[in-house]
């Protein structure tokens, strides 16, 4: 049986039989990447460099094929990659490693006892103590400057006054579960389902263990990593504590809480999100991130600095047309390190306090295994040495280190060499082309099948990213590589509306989505066809979330594609805005107002308005527990296609929310079903 027939069998007969997978020793040299290999993928995350830059702690993530789970252990390495070894082992999840200021203690979270708890390990002798026995999961750990306390976040039940008091049931009676009473705007969230009546609050815990002390209270939640003041008397955090927070969910501020008195003081006050506070080395200034919210669909996140009392805020990066993320002060307090996305590549840079920016490293990323989205992590030591997650199209995140003084970068790990040493991946090349709409330059990437022959003709898959305010780039993607391994050339691009090209480019789809992004995508297909190796009779299209929107929009505009797979889409903006998990956000930032006040605008942008034009065989694929683009959106489109006698199918991914790739088997199933559908209709 050849590879494509194998995919057809899997996709059409729904036969995902793990036991038939070959062992590595039986595989021929240079064999191609297979769906079952998803379980073998590993990646590095959360690199934590020591204060002197000599060592790096990091998390090594792997998958458990027997439980369909994601697992992780903590490793340590010298800065140059020598003496690299695991600190924890096992099939539990160990994560969030945080080295103490004294460098001899490691704080981390582990599920080895069942629920996530905090553990403290002495690195010099390997002794370990379980610090907590919490009923809720701790997160966002932060050491105090003297190493005696730990700040962290944890959800706390919030008791509101009940509307009614139901009569007690008789002893032994079996009644139905009591009704759920909901009076919150946001009562469900993708990945969490219906939200419990809980709020994430700030706590401190002695390094000796004991009972955590709660510092914040009420019907508001704390966001991000707590930031200690230099004297350890107070902690900075971000939160939206405004009375209108339900209707203005992005309007957060930076606050300071005194640990002894519990007095909370707001340090920022403008309308817009303010977050990620970082104290300068001398304790006199605070760097933070935010923007003035004017309700554009895409708004650039800037770097600000203010006095430690919140006075004299200054925008440092307002002349820099890219989003600033993950800020850290330099040792002398004259510069701030950060990461940003530029033309599909994530970089580490440093800015002085006047906004002069110097790049230090590129190719940061690799945490999104399924598709080549942005995202990466780094930390920096006071001496300018840094550690980061490194990725290119041929590997997920590995550990790399660099030095801001020399700008030299060194990749330390190759955690997938055991797999890729005998798996031939598709080569990826960058492409720039002009949009037919306005001649604007659009960036994309082409992934070719392994053993590509330019004299042959290959079927093409156009794969479209979601967001829509997000970006693809020159990063690893399991989905793209599996499509290429099945014999397809894959095109993925950043059409207008994508991030990493600045404010103007991102807002070309403001209140105008989908629109000319269609032209950008079709122009990309035409540009690849001109290269001479594409079979024009076998063009396929797919995308997820915002990519699902554009896929359904495309088949409503043209019938040049042989088949389409619309993954987790929005089909009807009217129903989506009122049914998805962020109603107070979507109508305000993506549309000119509420749906009943702008019905024509909503319908004009809804793919359901074009369903009468669709002739392309179109599969719908959505997670059963998706609260971001709910299953009802896919069901509407499926029913409409059925009524119009268009060949269609509905694939309901079990145990999945919006993030289908969260479970390895679901990511595998997604790819297999997409390829099965394309193979059915390939000419």
- Helix (H) or strand (E) run with residue 221 in it: none
pLDDT value of position 159:
80
Contact between residue 136 and residue 83 where contact means Cβ atoms under 8 Å apart: no
**What is the pLDDT confidence band of residue 1, given thresholds at 50, 70 and 90?**
very low
Whether 2 has a pLDDT exceeding 70, the answer reads: no
Whether 70 has a pLDDT exceeding 50, the answer reads: yes
3-state secondary structure of 481: helix
The edge-to-edge listing of strands for the beta sheet with 441-447 is 428-434, 441-447, 489-494, 458-464, 534-544, 563-567, 618-623, 648-653
Query: C-alpha 404: how far from its chain's center?
Result: 27
Question: Which residues make Cβ contacts (< 8 Å) with residue 650, sequence separation at least 6?
Answer: 619, 620, 621, 622, 634, 635, 638
Whether 285 has a pLDDT exceeding 80, the answer reads: yes
**126 exposed, middle or buried (CB, 10 Å; 0-12, 13-18, 19+)?**
exposed
Whether 194 has a pLDDT exceeding 90, the answer reads: no
pLDDT value of position 66:
95
Query: C-alpha 314: how far from its chain's center?
Result: 29
3-state secondary structure of 503: helix
Q: Tell me which of 607 and 184 has the higher pLDDT.
A: 607
Q: Taking the alpha carbons of 579, 580, 582, 584 in that order, is the dihedral positive or negative?
A: negative
**What is the pLDDT confidence band of residue 28, given thresholds at 50, 70 and 90?**
low
**What is the pLDDT confidence band of residue 406, given thresholds at 50, 70 and 90?**
confident
Average pLDDT over residues 391-404: 97
Provide the mean pLDDT of the chain. 93
**What is the pLDDT confidence band of residue 158, given thresholds at 50, 70 and 90?**
confident
**114 exposed, middle or buried (CB, 10 Å; 0-12, 13-18, 19+)?**
exposed
Which of 57-61, 209-213, 348-352 is predicted least confidently?
209-213
Question: Which residues make Cβ contacts (< 8 Å) with residue 290, sequence separation at least 6?
Answer: 268, 270, 272, 273, 274, 275, 301, 302, 304
Q: Could you check whether the bond before residue 514 is cis, i.e. omega within 30 degrees of 0? A: yes
Two structure tokens written together for 411: 């990749």
Q: Provide, rounded to the nearest whole percent, the portion of the chain with pLDDT above 70.
A: 96
pLDDT value of position 102:
83
**What is the pLDDT confidence band of residue 10, given thresholds at 50, 70 and 90?**
very low
Which of 144-148, 160-164, 174-178 is predicted least confidently?
160-164
Average pLDDT over residues 445-463: 97
pLDDT value of position 30:
55
Whether 4 has a pLDDT exceeding 90, the answer reads: no
- Helix (H) or strand (E) run with residue 379 in it: strand 378-380
Whether 15 has a pLDDT exceeding 60, the answer reads: no
pLDDT value of position 21:
36
Question: Which residues make Cβ contacts (< 8 Å) with residue 152, sequence separation at least 6?
Answer: 118, 138, 139, 140, 141, 142, 202, 203, 204, 205, 212, 226
Whether 7 has a pLDDT exceeding 70, the answer reads: no
pLDDT value of position 22:
40
pLDDT value of position 191:
86
Two structure tokens written together for 658: 């919006």
**What is the pLDDT confidence band of residue 591, given thresholds at 50, 70 and 90?**
very high
- Summarised one tens digit per residue, pLDDT across range 133-148 is 999 999 999 999 999 9
Average pLDDT over residues 575-585: 94
Two structure tokens written together for 337: 């390190």
Average pLDDT over residues 503-532: 98
Whether 193 has a pLDDT exceeding 80, the answer reads: yes
Average pLDDT over residues 421-431: 96
Question: Which residues make Cβ contacts (< 8 Å) with residue 457, sequence separation at least 6?
Answer: 533, 534, 535
- Summarised one tens digit per residue, pLDDT across range 212-232 is 999 999 999 999 999 999 999
Contact between residue 274 and residue 289 where contact means Cβ atoms under 8 Å apart: yes
Listed in order, strand segments (DSSP E) in 515-603 are 534-544, 563-567
- Summarised one tens digit per residue, pLDDT across range 465-500 is 999 999 999 999 999 999 999 999 999 999 999 999
Phi, psi (degrees; rounded to nearest 5) at 160? -100, 160
Average pLDDT over residues 577-602: 95
**What is the pLDDT confidence band of residue 32, given thresholds at 50, 70 and 90?**
very high
Look at the chain and count its residues.
683
pLDDT value of position 489:
98
């Amino acid at each position: 049986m050849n590879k494509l027939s194998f995919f057809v069998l899997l996709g059409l007969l729904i036969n995902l039989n793990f036991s038939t997978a070959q062992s590595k020793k039986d595989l021929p040299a240079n064999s191609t990447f297979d769906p079952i290999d998803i379980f073998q993928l590993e990646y590095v995350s959360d690199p934590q460099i020591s204060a002197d830059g000599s060592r790096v702690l990091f998390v090594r993530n792997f998958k458990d094929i027997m439980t369909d789970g994601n697992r992780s252990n903590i490793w340590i390495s010298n800065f140059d990659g020598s003496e690299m070894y695991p600190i924890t082992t096992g099939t539990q999840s160990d994560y969030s490693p945080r080295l103490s200021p004294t460098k001899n203690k490691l704080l981390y979270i582990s599920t080895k006892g069942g629920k996530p708890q905090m553990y403290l390990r002495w690195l010099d002798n390997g002794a370990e103590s379980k610090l907590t026995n919490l009923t809720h999961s701790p997160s966002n750990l932060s050491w105090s400057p003297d190493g005696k306390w730990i700040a962290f976040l944890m959800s706390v039940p919030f008791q509101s006054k009940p509307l009614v008091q139901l009569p007690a049931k008789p002893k032994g009676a079996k009644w139905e579960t009591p009704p759920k009473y909901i009076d919150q705007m946001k009562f469900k969230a993708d990945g969490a389902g219906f939200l419990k009546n809980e709020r994430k609050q700030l706590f401190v815990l002695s390094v000796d263990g004991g009972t955590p002390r709660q510092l914040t209270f009420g019907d508001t939640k704390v966001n991000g990593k707590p930031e200690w003041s230099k004297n350890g008397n107070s902690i900075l955090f971000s939160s939206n504590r405004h009375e209108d927070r339900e209707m203005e969910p992005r309007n957060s501020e930076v606050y300071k809480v005194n640990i002894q008195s519990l007095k909370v003081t707001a340090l920022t006050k403008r309308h817009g999100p303010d977050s990620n506070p970082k104290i300068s080395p001398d304790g006199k200034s605070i760097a933070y991130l935010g923007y003035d919210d004017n309700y554009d669909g895409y708004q650039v996140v800037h770097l600000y600095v203010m006095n430690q009392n919140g006075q004299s805020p200054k925008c440092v990066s307002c002349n820099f047309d890219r989003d600033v993320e993950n800020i850290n002060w330099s040792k002398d307090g004259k510069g701030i390190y950060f990461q940003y996305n530029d033309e599909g590549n994530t970089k580490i840079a440093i800015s002085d306090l006047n906004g002069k920016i110097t790049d230090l490293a590129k190719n940061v990323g690799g945490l999104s295994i399924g598709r080549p989205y942005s995202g990466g992590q780094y930390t920096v030591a006071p001496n300018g040495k840094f550690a980061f997650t490194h990725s290119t199209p041929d590997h997920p995140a590995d550990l790399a280190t660099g030095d801001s003084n020399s700008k030299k970068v060194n990749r330390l790990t190759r955690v997938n060499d055991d797999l890729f040493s005998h798996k031939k991946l598709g080569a990826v090349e960058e492409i720039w082309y002009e949009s037919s709409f306005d001649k604007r330059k659009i960036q994309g990437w082409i992934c070719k099948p392994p053993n590509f022959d330019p004299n042959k003709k290959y079927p093409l898959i156009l794969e479209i990213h979601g967001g829509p305010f997000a970006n693809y780039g020159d990063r690893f993607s399991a989905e793209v590589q599996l499509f290429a391994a099945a014999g397809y050339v894959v095109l993925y691009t950043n059409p207008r509306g994508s991030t990493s090209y600045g404010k103007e480019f991102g807002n070309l789809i403001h209140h105008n989505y989908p629109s000319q992004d269609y032209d950008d995508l079709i122009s990309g297909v035409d540009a690849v066809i001109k290269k001479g190796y594409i079979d024009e009779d076998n063009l396929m299209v797919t995308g997820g979330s915002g990519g699902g929107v554009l896929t359904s929009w495309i088949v409503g505009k043209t019938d040049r594609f042989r088949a389409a797979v619309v993954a987790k889409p929005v089909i009807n903006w009217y129903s989506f805005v009122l049914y998805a998990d962020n109603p107070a956000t979507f109508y305000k930032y993506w549309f000119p107002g509420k749906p009943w006040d702008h019905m024509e605008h909503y319908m004009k942008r809804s793919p359901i308005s074009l369903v009468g034009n669709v002739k392309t065989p179109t599969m719908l694929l959505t997670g059963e527990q998706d609260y971001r683009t709910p299953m009802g959106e896919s069901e509407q489109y499926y029913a409409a296609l059925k009524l119009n006698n268009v060949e269609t199918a509905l694939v309901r991914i079990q145990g999945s929310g919006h993030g289908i790739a969260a479970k390895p088997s679901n990511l595998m199933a997604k790819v297999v079903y997409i390829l099965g559908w394309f193979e059915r209709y390939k000419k």
